[in-house]
Structure 1
């Protein structure tokens, strides 16, 4: 169980760092969160794998909810938005002008 936990922490950290480095339409706040938390997760995994010798440690599987949410946000923002045709733009303008009356 310890090795799985360390592995998941390391993978989460590397994925968050990679998402922070990509410019694909993410919000600046999302990139900053990834840039801050990615090294923290990776650093804690390195600490547990190489420096931690013995004793007790707490396993927080809730810590993996945030990386999952950040990955979902990353891919949601990555999908291209549909561009409106000229007819659709004209129809929206017509609707807006009708609402103003």
Structure 2
């Protein structure tokens, strides 16, 4: 159970740091929260994995609600229109050329 917890903390931290770096329409506050909590999660996972030498520890699975909420905010604030851009004139010409070759 301990290994799973550390792994989930690390994955959540990496995901939050990724979301902070990508941006895509997020506010500066949302990006800062992603970065701060991502570093915190990843740091705590590193502490548990490499420094913690046994004894008692508490597992807070409620902490994983935060990455889910930040991921939902990331998806909602993403500028999907910018991600689905129109092809450039060169790309359009190449596609037209490919269609002509397939017909012939």
- TM superposition score normalised by structure 2: 0.74
SS at match of 2:80: coil
SS at match of 1:54: coil
Query: Match of 2:64?
Result: 64
Query: Match of 2:102?
Result: none
Query: Match of 1:28?
Result: 28
**Cα deviation per residue 1:17-71 (whole Å; 9 max; x = unaligned)?**
0111112001111001011111110000000011101100000000000000000
Alignment: residue pair count = 81
Distance 1:53 1:3 in 2: 13
Q: Give RMSD over aligned pairs.
A: 1.1
Deviation at 1:79, TM superposition (A): 4.9
Mark the runs of 5 or more structure 2 residues left unpaired by the alignment: 82-104
Query: Match of 1:45?
Result: 45
Distance 1:78 1:32 in 2: 16
Mark the runs of 5 or more structure 1 residues left unpaired by the alignment: 82-101
- TM superposition score normalised by structure 1: 0.76
